Structure 1
Amino acid sequence: MKTKIAPSMVISRFAKSALALAVLAMSFTACKDDDDPKPDGGDGGETEKVFIPTKGKTYSYKITDSDGETGDIITKVASTKDSAGLTVHTIENFVRENEEQRTYLSKAYAKGGTTTNVLPYPVVLKELQNQINDIAYISKFEVTGFPQYQFLENNGKVNSALTFQGDPIKVLMELEIPVGDEGSVLGKLEARMTNKNGKAVAEESITTPAGEFKCTKWEYSYDVYTKFETEVTAPEISTETIQVTLWTAPGVGIVKTIEKGEDGSSTTELRKVE
């Protein structure tokens, strides 16, 4: 009689969704070394476009997935702290999706016309660990590839660079999976996410429920690889490339994002500024 491992698809889905959530959280972390954007004459005397949420304001977003599921994000600058002459911003992102709530904190700063975002992947992967603990015992949990950074050129012109620094993020879990009255089986989950550099592809105006914004449109991608196997089943291997389109506006930060992959798409759009 062949044993059926029901949790396998759930575990693989958790791995992919957690990594995707990391990218979503990362998208809401743009700041610079002043609370208010100021002109910068470093680009032929033209004004530098600084894509940051304004301190003291709250930004509400709607998440809509192609399968009909929805969620919300509320983001704001929680605090600023000077560190060796550089103002480091803490960005708070409250996410509510699928009747679950979570808060992601990340750090960001800017210098020399480039915004640097310290990506909050450890928080997201800790959540992945908690979710899988609900259906299996994790006997081993290893994560490599930190720290991770994202860099945005603040001038926001076509061909401005959007780049990443850091090795691919790798997750290894060894599991004991209950199978009802039959006891448990041993399993292993491997997941890897690799960010790909991108660039600004256009300067355009877009309209959302929060109003009309003059934006820089960016495009980049990331690859997600997962492999799940147990002592009684063959490996389940999945490789997917997610294409990301991102619109940012000076003094606002993120206005809209669209992620597209083989399994569907997800759109996050600014709905209100208070």
Structure 2
Amino acid sequence: MKKKIQSPSMLISRFAKSALALAVLAMSFTACKDDDNPNPDGGDGGGTEKAFIPSKDKRYIYKITDSDGADGDIITKVASTKDSAGLVVHTIENFVRENEEERTFISKAYAKGGTTTNVLPYPIALKELQNQINDIAYISKFNVTGFPQYQFLENNGKVNSALTFQGDPIKVIMELEIPAGDEGSVLGKLEARMTNKNGKAVAEESVTTPAGNFNCTKWEYSYEVYMKFETEVTEPEITTETIQVTLWTAPGVGIVKTIEKSEDGTSTTELRKVE
């Protein structure tokens, strides 16, 4: 009979959930515009369309407040632009400081036909997941599928404008060798899956932050995080959680504020300064 050990599932699952949540955050901070747009304030040169984009020559500083009370900040800027087969593709740099850790994640974005397309590549969050779990277990297999992910935001910004996603769910599968003292090690497996749900604009409203007052479009969508952890000596532990996201965007600025609500509480990201 095999001896039972204390499962590190809570720690491993928290790492995985944090990484997937950061992947969503990375996607949210990638709005940009087509360089052919003649109006630098984000309009379309006389039409009714509005582009929710940051200006390329400015830095946007955000404060993050997690559900556990911890805080941090994000500095977002357009790092570069490049013409690719007639389509201007923007490289977005996001520098994150949180929980005494610093990281930078990079993504791509472009705009065409009244829609801003945000492309989320393999995020640094999932690479960090490997590093964090390596501190408590040896990862013998690490597999990620579901990238790239695409987020489409209708630039019209009116009520019922669509916010949609394209791409298979992001899946992480890890096989682990977990130290068990004198018993050697125990084999374990973690499966994590994040599925984005389409949303829409629900209101146009004024939002005030320390950076100023902004006329915003308010969007709502959600994503689901599924976790399954098991070892050769423990029963599978399965959790499924839906996170509700509210997002405010403003023309010529991009993201102004986000609120995420889950069973663990509420997390916010708010624009504090524009430089």
TM-score, L = length of structure 2: 0.95
The aligned residue for residue 259 of structure 2 is: 258
Task: State the SS of the aligned residue for 2:53.
Answer: coil
Amino acid paired to 1:258: I
The aligned residue for residue 44 of structure 2 is: 40
The aligned residue for residue 245 of structure 1 is: 246
Please tell me whether the aligned partners of residues 104 and 120 of structure 1 are also in contact (alpha carbons under 8 angstroms).
no
Please tell me whether the aligned partners of residues 68 and 265 of structure 2 are also in contact (alpha carbons under 8 angstroms).
yes
The aligned residue for residue 56 of structure 2 is: 55
Task: State the SS of the aligned residue for 1:9.
Answer: helix
State the alpha-carbon separation in 2 of the partners of residues 132 and 182 from structure 1. Answer: 20
User: Deviation at 1:233?
Assistant: 0.9
User: Deviation at 1:214?
Assistant: 0.4
State the alpha-carbon separation in 2 of the partners of residues 84 and 197 from structure 1. Answer: 29
User: Deviation at 1:5?
Assistant: 2.8
The aligned residue for residue 216 of structure 1 is: 217
User: Deviation at 1:3?
Assistant: 3.0
CA RMSD of aligned residues (A): 1.5
Please tell me whether the aligned partners of residues 22 and 120 of structure 1 are also in contact (alpha carbons under 8 angstroms).
no
The aligned residue for residue 179 of structure 1 is: 180
Say yes or no: does 1:166 pair with 2:171: no
State the alpha-carbon separation in 2 of the partners of residues 231 and 135 from structure 1. Answer: 17
Per-residue CA shift, 1:83-105, capped at 9, x if unaligned? 11111110000011111110010
The aligned residue for residue 119 of structure 1 is: 120
Amino acid paired to 1:224: V
Task: State the SS of the aligned residue for 2:160.
Answer: coil
Per-residue CA shift, 1:192-243, capped at 9, x if unaligned? 1100000000000000000000000000000000000001111111100000
Task: State the SS of the aligned residue for 1:3.
Answer: coil
State the alpha-carbon separation in 1 of the partners of residues 41 and 84 from structure 2. Answer: 19
- Paired residues in the alignment total 271
Q: Residues 131, 8 of structure 1: CA spacing in aligned structure 2 closer, same or farther, 3 A cutoff? A: same
Amino acid paired to 1:259: E
Amino acid paired to 2:80: S
Greater alpha carbon shift after TM alignment, 56-65 vs 174-183: 174-183
The runs of at least 4 aligned residues of structure 1 exceeding 4 Å deviation read none
User: Deviation at 1:2?
Assistant: 5.1
Please tell me whether the aligned partners of residues 42 and 252 of structure 2 are also in contact (alpha carbons under 8 angstroms).
no
Please tell me whether the aligned partners of residues 42 and 52 of structure 2 are also in contact (alpha carbons under 8 angstroms).
no
The aligned residue for residue 140 of structure 2 is: 139
The aligned residue for residue 274 of structure 2 is: 273
Per-residue CA shift, 1:231-261, capped at 9, x if unaligned? 1111111100000000000111000000001
State the alpha-carbon separation in 1 of the partners of residues 204 and 61 from structure 2. Answer: 23
Per-residue CA shift, 1:136-170, capped at 9, x if unaligned? 11111111112210000001000000000001111
The aligned residue for residue 78 of structure 1 is: 79
Q: Residues 121, 79 of structure 1: CA spacing in aligned structure 2 closer, same or farther, 3 A cutoff? A: same
Please tell me whether the aligned partners of residues 52 and 252 of structure 1 are also in contact (alpha carbons under 8 angstroms).
yes
Unmatched tracts of structure 2, length 5 or more: none
State the alpha-carbon separation in 1 of the partners of residues 134 and 260 from structure 2. Answer: 28
Q: Percent identity?
A: 86
Please tell me whether the aligned partners of residues 113 and 153 of structure 1 are also in contact (alpha carbons under 8 angstroms).
yes
Amino acid paired to 2:237: E
Amino acid paired to 2:133: I
State the alpha-carbon separation in 2 of the partners of residues 131 and 146 from structure 1. Answer: 21
State the alpha-carbon separation in 2 of the partners of residues 4 and 63 from structure 1. Answer: 36
